Chains A and B, each alone.
Chain A
Amino acid sequence: MWDSMLSAFGAVAQPGVIWAVASALPVGLLFGLLPGLSGLTALAVLIPFVYGMDGLQGLAFLLTAHAVVYTGGSVTAILLGIPGSPPNAATIIDGVPMRNKGLAGMAVGAAVTASAVGGLIGAAVLFVLLPVLRPVVMAFGPAETFVLAMMGLTFLAAVGTGSPAKGLFAGAFGIFLSFIGYEPVTGVPRYWFGSEYLLDGLRIIPIALGIFAIPELLALAAGRSLARQQGPLPGKQMWEGARAVFRHFGLSARSAGIGAVIGIIPGVGGETAPFVAYAAAKQGDREPERFGTGVVEGVIAPESANNAKEGGALVPTLAFGVPGSAGMALLLGAFLVLGLQPGPEFLRLHLDIGMALVLVLAVANLFAAAIMLLLTPALARVVTLPPALLVPVLMALVTLGAYSVANDMRDVVATFAFGALGVAFVHFGLNRATFLLGFVLGPLVERYLTISLNIFGPSFLLRPIVLVLIALTVLGLAAPRLRRAWRRRARA
């Protein structure tokens, strides 16, 4: 163990690797900042560059670029209300109200610091688990994944602000849209109306972009300007925000833990982690009604989870060659390109590479946060730019981002179609983040329920971890009510 660690340190301290991390950092941050260009796009674009590099260098390059995307993405989510990548959508729920109150600097400072803390905790989780990855991944089968997805769905009501009925409707509509395309298990095509584009199912990036970015840009173009500069200068606010992460360290750590665990489970995918963390933060808070009005906790929770999940996602990727997230699927490809085969053999032969990756993850997150903190005062001034300048540039970026998903013009059309939907949502006061969550979770619930029934029959509900997760779900839902009852009893 220890000599693996030492050799890992040695491997990472090579100039080639340091150079790889240093050059990937700004690229990853940039991809995160620019709306429409997500971590996946970053990886897809960068993989061809890796064909020439050697083992650890190439991996460090890709991992760095991918891991820090969410740090950069949080800034765009808060300042512009446009998620830099789908997992940043949960940050919008409280981030944008904070910006509107003039607290943009604080929100960004908190988001970036939470990202770093979350990323470090995620790396630590990975490090601790490296020797025992197998049993951990083995424990989470289709039944456990199903219950986790259901847990995510039950939080739909919790995540939404305003009327729970509207939140549920938005989420249900998201689930419905996820039905378009092949049914995950039987392969029966649904709601495709003969269109080849719909046969594959709707893609998440055009949806996330369209539904969040377009209404924002329309509002900007219509003359509404982003926040007035209220309160202390952005620079000062920023350190306030950074301090808040440590003041609420329990929350930060808990959210990171949630992110890491969700990252470990291969089937669930990364988008749900920030939402679950947000809902858990809200449900566990003394005054859950504050969430959604612009509280810093609502920014810390999702951002912490966002970066932690990358450490978690590496677990099944390294241990079994099973990608823990869509980004990991691409990273897996890179492993193979570099001549490494993740799987049971890999950790036995290359434990030091595994540890080196942990180090890279930790370092990348730290430096990303440092860079973003340095840039925040300048970036926060973006909100004061005239819309006439902002809108065309952002519109161009959104279009580019939509096209870059699969080199398909129809994705751009879809983005604008969802833009119209987004405008309708905003008009009717429907929660767009809830909608996105429903869209992401729908197929998971369907898929893993069918697989679980197929393998175990209904008795899958009696598996130990499943029971624990069900208990947690019930507890999570009941928490606010229980807390109120307990407080009443304490007062009496």
Chain B
Amino acid sequence: MSKSRTPSITPWLFLAPFLVTFAVFTIYPLSQSFVLSFQQTFGPRSTVPVGFENFRYLFTDPLFWIALKNTTLFTLGSLCVQLPLSLGLALLLNRPELKGRSLFRLIFFAPSLVGLVFVGMIFSLIFEKRTGLLNVVIHSIIPQFPLEFPWLQNYVMLALIIAALWLYVGFNMIYFLAALQNVPGELVESAGIDGAGPWDRFVHVTLPHIMPVAGFVVLLSILGSFQLFELPFVLLGGSGPENRGLTLVMYLYNTGFVTGDLGYASAIGWVLALILASVTIVQRRISRKGEE
């Protein structure tokens, strides 16, 4: 690239909107978040320094552990159900001879446009006892299945995983589909000529090619799942019976904006950030090893 002869102030002027808003609305609150996590607050104004008390309390706080357990369960549950199904749909669609391919893609993708709040609204009615669509349909197929099945009372995690499945399956599918289109077709064909069955061809030819994207989708899903908030918040109107739907971000929200302790909320935020950072580092390590 040739050296630009313009005064070196020009690029900084183009970056000015970012620099100003980033400093005010990200860097400053980020540093405040650190300060706050060593304070107890009553609303935004009155603060009391408490040292490490927030973090010490966090480790004995039963609600924090419930939230962490729920969030982890949801993350693992959705990973195990969502991703194989997303990949499966992508494999089904990845055939040039398939008619109506773009229509199917459109249909599967459509739910990911719906905001979590609105998904929560729709599914809060779908999961209703007796009148809810899900119970009525399952009951009509399997008469032993009770119409009163308490999705939103006793099977909260399962309900959340199902709603998230509907929402995200098509979104992840788009990534897999893009990755599959980069798998050289000749390679798959020549493996077939060499006598490899469909399963062998998938494991030895297709899978290694889509691994980088798969790793990225896994990371994106974990990071997203760990920040789950709106879906249970709207679906259950809060944390649900016995806090069965309490997630980390919901606990942060309740602490900061219902109880009014922005300090303890910030401490929860830092623990969440630490978890997300560790997940990212582990994923990077694994994917780098895979490339070698």
A binds B: no
